[in-house]
Amino acid sequence: MSRRLSVHDRGVVLMASVTATTSSAGSLPEAKAIDGFLAVSLLAVLAVSVRAIWFTPVDAMLGAAQKIFYMHVPAAIVGLYISCSLLAIASILYLWIKDERLDRLAEASAEIGLLFMGIVLVTGPVWARTSWGTWWVWEARITSTLFLWLLVLGYLVLRGAVESPESRARLSAVMGSLAALLVPFIHLTVRLFRGMHPGPVVLKPEKPSLPPEMLLTFLMAIVAYILLFFALLRVRMRWAALRDARAVLENA
């Protein structure tokens, strides 16, 4: 995750940028204390949360608990669809092209995806308790999310257990590529059980069933979460590039 660079790190960055032309890390990103894109996306998430809590009508049927929806669904879109797709694509491409930037993309997508999937898995039961009367049900989409979360966790543990950067990239790309094939199977397997998770409310063939105010908040939330995801991804990839450059220098 992102962190402020220490004086030592700054020195390393300086040295790294001097040797950047010869190092395999390529051109190094600039180290900045505050990332503009991240700040804007955090503000957007904050603004949309304020709008959702105070300025969007309370659902007549589900009450205040429905507001979790503005966090739960955008986090699911980002964590399950965007980050898992990026992890899969980056892993498959890495085995093919062997570009270390793809490895860093896979690593960053997995880590940030795990965070967003975590949000989904925490907000889901809170909502289910008030609406279904139970914390957890073994329903198709919930179960798939849990398995995906475990899968990505396993992927990250594997990354942590390999010392050499080249082996780490290669072995984790093997797991990432296989995971891409596994997702449809997990989906099919758990779909064969009957589900009670609410169906799509926005992406339906007929008109969205949300009132316009709620729909607007919801769409804004999706945009804000996507922004936050890419801002975190950028910071995380930049950090990984610095770490790799430092490793190159230390081994030189």
Partner 1 sequence: MSAQHTAPDFLADALRIARKDLLIEFRTRSAFLAATVFAVLAVVIFRFTWDPTAIPAFDLAPGVLWVIFTFSGLLGLNRSFGLELSERAYDGLLASQVSREAIFAGKVLANLAFVSGVQALTLPAVALFFDLQVGSGWGVLIGVVFCASLGLAAVGTLFAAVASNTRMAELLLPMMTLPFFVPLVIPAAQTSAVILRGQPLADAMPWFKLLLAFDLVFVTACLVVFPFTIEE
**Residues 1 and 114: beta-carbon distance below 8 Å:** no
Q: Quick check: 175 binds partner 1 (CB under 8 A)?
A: yes
How many Å apart are CA 228 and CA 29, to the nearest integer?
Answer: 19
Site for partner 1 contains 38 (CB under 8 A)? no
Q: Which helix (H) or strand (E) holds 97?
A: helix 83-97
- The answer to whether residue 154 forms part of the interface with partner 1 (CB under 8 A) is yes
Applying CB under 8 A, which of residues 192, 199, 203, 212 lies at the interface with partner 1? 192
Selected range binding partner 1 among 42-50, 111-119, 188-196, 198-206, rule: CB under 8 A: 188-196
Region near partner 1 per CB under 8 A, out of 63-71, 74-82, 162-170, 241-249: 162-170
By CB under 8 A, tell whether 95 contacts partner 1: yes
- Find the length of the chain: 252
Written as six digits, the tokens of 244 are 């790799």
Shortest Cβ distance from residue 48 to partner 1 (Å)? Answer: 33
List Cβ neighbours of 103 (8 Å cut-off, separation of 6 or more).
90, 94, 168, 169, 172, 173
Question: What is the C-alpha separation between 45 and 71, in angstroms, rounded?
Answer: 9
**# of chain residues touching partner 1 (CB under 8 A):** 28
Q: Site residues (CB under 8 A) for partner 1?
A: 95, 147, 150-151, 153-155, 157-158, 161-163, 167, 170-171, 173-175, 177-178, 181-182, 185-186, 188-190, 192
